[in-house]
Amino acid sequence: MTALDRSTGVAAAQGFRAAGVAAGIKASGNLDLALIVNDGPGTAAAGVFTTNKVKAAPVLWSQQVLTTASLRAVVLNSGGANACTGPEGFQDTHATAEKVADVLGAGAIDVAVCSTGLIGERLPMDAVKSGVDIAAKGLAPGAEASLAAATAVMTTDSHPKQTALSRDGWTIGGFAKGAGMCAPNMATMLSVVTTDAAVDAPALDAALKAAVAVTFNRLDVDGGTSTNDTVIAMASGASGVTPDPAAFAEALQAVCADLVAQLQADAEGVTKHVSITVAGAATDAEAVAAARAVARDPLCKTAFFGSDPNWGRIAMAVGNAPTDFDPQSLDITINGVTVCRAGGRGDDRSLADLTGTDITVEIDLHAGTGTGTVLTTDLSHAYVEENSAYSS
């Protein structure tokens, strides 16, 4: 596995076991509970959580337990977000962690919890608890267990998303779920990444934050940030190898980027995979803000759906971004054709062929050296259908 390998994931690294089971939380009877256990010897852990002020109970719980920078396990359920459920919802999360701790002979403080599904409904706790018992019995290392865990967290995802990468005696693997960055109803973004590299908690935390900033946080399907978004990383140290920090950071970023590519490709209603790169901004942050403004603009997104190189809409969106530039210097290149040059008409827009799945937009503001890329999708009939035709 010197290259990314999507046939395995969260239980690929030494020291980790996983399970994915049907606990009966989903009415469909599909897999709905995943358990990831770190058998050590190390227990370093780090997490990145939603910035939404409305945080689900499992987010509040996991933020709290991760102040120790140590985890033995993560339990995840689909079929319910446990968000906007008040003190009772928080007690449910606590009870879930207690149940996992009992089964593993650990403390509740060693267990993170993630949930995804409809907001505002309590979880069926009998099903959750019996699901933990079943999952604990099925814990195993390797590809089959990785796939089951990745499958159990799916909501509107059409397929499980996982990847793994090995380098110099150590491995990083993980899964992610999410069919929109924002879909508190059904498509919260959750990810667990594991490694057997011998990295301590501060190093893991720094590498995770750096990787998330340029991978998960650069995917913007529909502009929202859910109540449950969570990425958790755990390091077992079981390989006995302490990697070069830069090599570890690079590998972790590669794993996260591969998971994000899978999220983008399976976003709700997606027909186009759009990459928007802004160069020449005053700062990298302004470049990302400008790219995000295009990624979120419904007129740009419907034009992408229509395979229409409509650069005027892109100019409008960039002009509304919190980004300084001279409109007379704006260049816009779509799939290699510079359709807008120096703020005006460039090459003939009909030369830009957008009929394929991949669309690349390159914007140069000529206002500095800041750059940034945001990945997004189009706004299609299928997106509207998927998000309007269901009753909650």
Nearer Cβ to a second copy, position 131 or 309?
309
Residue 188 labeled ligand binder: yes
Quote the least distance from Cβ 160 to a second copy, whole Å.
Answer: 23
Selected from 318, 352, 354, 374, the binder of a second copy by CB under 8 A is: 318
Residue 301 labeled ligand binder: no
340 binds a second copy (CB under 8 A): yes
Cβ atoms within 10 A of the Cβ of 118, count?
A: 16
CA dihedral 173, 176, 181, 185 (to 10 degrees): -160
Contacting range for a second copy; rule: CB under 8 A; set: 41-49, 165-173, 224-232, 236-244: 224-232
Selected from 8, 14, 85, 264, the binder of a second copy by CB under 8 A is: 85
Q: Is 85 a catalytic site residue?
A: no
The set of residues, in sequence order, having a beta carbon less than 8 Å from that of 213 and lying 6+ positions away, is: none
Quote the least distance from Cβ 11 to a second copy, whole Å.
Answer: 31
376 to 3, 11, 297: CA distances (angstroms): 25, 29, 11
The set of residues, in sequence order, having a beta carbon less than 8 Å from that of 196 and lying 6+ positions away, is: 13, 14, 15, 16, 170, 171, 235, 236, 237, 238, 239, 241
Nearer Cβ to a second copy, position 246 or 389?
389
- Helix, strand, coil percentages, rounded to 5, for the chain: 35, 25, 40
Contacting range for a second copy; rule: CB under 8 A; set: 29-37, 101-109, 253-261, 376-384: 376-384
The set of residues, in sequence order, having a beta carbon less than 8 Å from that of 79 and lying 6+ positions away, is: 25, 26, 27, 32, 117, 123
Catalytic residue among 188, 194, 230, 377: 188
Nearer Cβ to a second copy, position 84 or 134?
84
303 binds a second copy (CB under 8 A): yes
24 binds a second copy (CB under 8 A): no
Omega cis (within 30) before 41:
yes
Nearer Cβ to a second copy, position 122 or 129?
122
Residue 55 labeled ligand binder: no
190 binds a second copy (CB under 8 A): no
Contacting range for a second copy; rule: CB under 8 A; set: 129-137, 159-167, 179-187, 273-281: 179-187
Give me the DSSP letters along 155-202: SS-SS-EEEEEEETTEEEEEEEE-SSS--TTT---EEEEEE-S---HH
381 binds a second copy (CB under 8 A): yes
Selected from 148, 183, 208, 256, the binder of a second copy by CB under 8 A is: 183
For tokens 């409109």, name the residue: 327
Q: Which residues of 276-299 are buried (b: 16+ CB within 10 A; e: fewer)?
A: bbbbbbebeebbbbbbbbbbbbee
317 binds a second copy (CB under 8 A): yes
**Residues making contact with a second copy (CB under 8 A):** 51-55, 81, 83-86, 89, 118-121, 180, 182-185, 222-227, 296-299, 302-303, 305-306, 308-313, 315-320, 325, 327-328, 330, 340, 342-345, 349, 379-381, 383-385, 387-392
